[in-house]
Amino acid sequence: MCGMFGTMLNLHAPSHAAWLPAALAAMDDVLLDHAHCEKKAASTAMSLLFRYPDHLELQRPLSELAREELAHFELVLRHLDRRGVRFKRQRPSAYAGRLMEAVRPQEPERLLDMLLCMSLIEARSCERMKLLSEALEDDELRSLYKGLLASEARHHTTYVDLARLYFDADVVRVRLEALAAHEASALEREWPATHVRMHT
């Protein structure tokens, strides 16, 4: 499901071929970054709830999504524990910041762009979790990523569906294509990366 570019995940380009081997060689770093990504995903969903309290249709789906991301966060923390890796502060990668530079400041375009950028972050996570789930030799990590990638694919769809509630299907489609191209370039500039992360 996650390998189908332009269909289910709407990604403009697959991950750089060098990412997977680098990630496999540094799984503790990837897991630590992954934990931060799950927590951040919950936080961004929460921030949308606070910014758009009058958008009734956003409330329950984003609340559920935030809870799911926190459950993912706790799950990844358990895997860090299992591997003896201490959770610690980490400087965020430039990826999300660069992606969000494309968010237009005025409403309602801001809402559309936020929802679609979040949908693309979910899609990229899903793509990478799929790569990991197919390549990892560690059984526990492989099943962690196998289990999570379906949720992240669903989150991608949730964000796009929410955008369609408030904007015309054509407007959503055109903007999603443009932002997907931007997302691929935000990712590309991270490579070669000094630290391998979920989003480099």
Footprint on this chain of Fe ion (rule: CB under 5 A): 38, 41, 69, 72, 122, 152, 155
CA angle centred on 128, ends 126 and 133, rounded to 5°? 90
Question: Given the complex with Fe ion, which of 109 and 157 has the nearer CB atom?
Answer: 157
Q: Please tell me the distance from the alpha carbon of residue 33 to that of residue 75, in angstroms, as a whole number.
A: 13
- For the bound state, the minimum distance from the C-beta of residue 73 to Fe ion, rounded and expressed in Å, comes to 8
CB crowding 146-176: b at 16 or more within 10 Å, else e: eebbebbbebbebbbebbeebbeeeebeebb
Three-state SS for 189? Answer: coil
Going from the C-alpha of 118 to that of each of 5, 121, 162, 163, the distances in angstroms are 17, 5, 11, 11
- For the bound state, the minimum distance from the C-beta of residue 36 to Fe ion, rounded and expressed in Å, comes to 12
Question: Given the complex with Fe ion, which of 113 and 152 has the nearer CB atom?
Answer: 152
Question: Given the complex with Fe ion, which of 119 and 200 has the nearer CB atom?
Answer: 119
Read off the tokens for 151. Answer: 């949720």
Question: Given the complex with Fe ion, which of 27 and 62 has the nearer CB atom?
Answer: 62
- For the bound state, the minimum distance from the C-beta of residue 155 to Fe ion, rounded and expressed in Å, comes to 4
Helix axis angle, 169-188 to 139-166, nearest 10°: 140
- For the bound state, the minimum distance from the C-beta of residue 64 to Fe ion, rounded and expressed in Å, comes to 11
Question: Given the complex with Fe ion, which of 27 and 41 has the nearer CB atom?
Answer: 41
- For the bound state, the minimum distance from the C-beta of residue 170 to Fe ion, rounded and expressed in Å, comes to 26
